[in-house]
Each structure stands twice: as C-alpha cells, then as structure tokens.
Chains A and B, each alone.
Chain A
Amino acid sequence: QITLKESGPTLVKPTQTLTLTCTFSGFSLSTSGVGVGWIRQPPGKALEWLALIYWDDDKRYRPSLKSRLTIIKDTSKNQVVLRMTNMDPVDTATYYCGHYGWLFHFDYWGQGTLVTVSS
C-alpha cells in the first residue's frame, strides 16, 4: 500500500532555509504519470498547494512562492525534498506531502509535520 511520511525540523528561525523530506513507499517515482506534491496548512487556516514534482522531473510551483521553493527527487531513495528559503513566521504551518496519481488530485497523504518559524 502507498504510504508517505514527512520529516524535518520542527523549529526554524526567520530568514533560515527549511528543508523537508518526504519518504514514501508503495510506488515508484519513475512510473509514468506519478508525482509527489507538497501542501501546507497554517494553524486554523486552509490548505495551500506549494509544489509538485513529476516522474519525468518536471516541477511546478505555487506562483507566489516560486522564488523561494525548490523541489527535488531521489528516486533510488524513494524521497522527495522541499526547500523553502527565507522563512518567516507566516510560514508556520503543518506541511504535508501527497501522492499524485493520474487525474489531477492527491490521493494519498502523509501525516504532516508542524514547522514553527520563530526566533
């Protein structure tokens, strides 16, 4: 079965770079049509799509955050990494990774990891 799990720091300081890792099983990121995305949710607020990487290494980013985001994959390790630069307290959120199958949706989700930005 498909599982995903996010890992990374729980606390980062303003201006620092956040690096999150999504480790998954049950599928391969070398399979045509497959992708892994990142979604975040500030406390008490709505979900927000951030980025997606496809099996062919095509990458898509939320336009308003594009300059701060980098998504990369390591197919051999079954991992996807998200980097977000210049972190600010407004970036405090639970960050989720999700499996993207065909038809434009996320069908499996990780449990999420809460990242707090504070000095």
Chain B
Amino acid sequence: QTVVTQEPSFSVSPGGTVTLTCGLSSGSVSISYYPSWYQQTPGQAPRTLIHSTFTRSSGVPDRFSGSILGNKAALTITGAQADDESDYYCLLYMGSGIWVFGGGTKLTVL
C-alpha cells in the first residue's frame, strides 16, 4: 500500500520562505496525481489552498504556490506570516477513484 509522505514538522522565520513537500513511499509524484494542498488550524475545518498542482483556490494569497520539485509535489510559502502557523496536508489522486492524504506537516513560524 502506497503511503503519502510529508515532513512531520517544519519551522520558518517570519518573512522567510519555506517549501513543504509531498511524496510517495514508492514512486514519484507528478501532475497526474493532481496534488492539492490544505491548511488547517486547530479546531477548524481544512481550507483549500492549491489544487491541480499549481492552481490557487479563490482568495488564497499569491505567497502560496504549488509545484513539482523532483519527484515530489511542493507547497512554497514566500514571506511567511504568523498566521501561516498551521498544519498543512497534501492530497493525491491515486487513480481508480481513490484519494490519499499525507500525514501532514506542522508549520511553526518563529
């Protein structure tokens, strides 16, 4: 069974840039997996940031961007702000109507 991997935690300084990644335990992530990214703060529902690898959802600031880096999907936050401190999840479409979330990355801004 393929596992979707994310860094468990990451830290970034205010104003800094951070790249979170989303990989596979076996194989490479490509645009064919239609990676999407979600931000979640404690006690709240997820908020959709990016879909189809690159496309920002409505209302999402352009300091959030998605890409493919090497064999992983990536979410880059440029100019990190205090309220970016959240959990971030990627979601991959595995084909045959099956979706798998990654384990999430807890981002600290300090």
Contact = CB atoms under 8 A, between A and B. Distances in A.
Given A60-B98, A104-B52, A105-B91, A96 B103 contact: no
Contacts of A103: 34, 51-52, 55
A37 B98 CA distance: 11
The listed residue with most B CB atoms (<10 A of its CB), out of A47, A110, A111, is: A47
Contact of A104 (B45, B51, B103): B51
Contact of A105 (B40, B51, B97, B103): B51
Interface of A: 37, 39, 46-49, 52, 58, 60, 62-63, 96, 103-112
A-B interface, 3 closest residue pairs, ranked by CB to CB distance from nearest: A60-B97, A104-B34, A105-B36
B48 A47 contact: no
Nearest to A96: B45
Contacts of B38: 47
B101 A46 contact: yes
28 contacts: A46-B102, A46-B104, A47-B38, A47-B40, A47-B104, A48-B101, A49-B99, A60-B98, A96-B46, A103-B51, A103-B52, A103-B55, A104-B34, A104-B93, A104-B99, A105-B34, A105-B48, A105-B51, A105-B52, A105-B91, A106-B46, A107-B48, A107-B51, A108-B48, A109-B46, A109-B47, A109-B48, A110-B45
